[in-house]
Amino acid sequence: MKNNTTNKIKQKSIRIIDEIETVDDELPIEIDFSKMKQIENPIKKSVLIKLDSDLALHFKNSRQLNKFLRLQLKSYAIIN
């Protein structure tokens, strides 16, 4: 009886190990991203800054102004 129980435990453990080894962790060849939802970045915040009209004339939109300011900050960091 004891030997039979030991054999059953061994068989179960072998089956479990076989199941673990057959799990495929690789990504599929194709992934459909069309069903995914885009979420807002909770950290990103907008800030309203008022520019004088003579300065605002130099920029087409806020993206261009942001790019300019980032470049200026990088230049400033290099100089100092």
Tell me the residue type at 58: H
Tell me the residue type at 12: K
Tell me the residue type at 70: R
| 6 to 11, 13, 17: CA distances (angstroms) | 9, 11, 16
pTM: 0.42
pLDDT digits (tens, 9 = 90+) for 20-77: 555 566 777 787 888 888 887 778 778 888 899 999 999 999 899 999 999 999 998 8
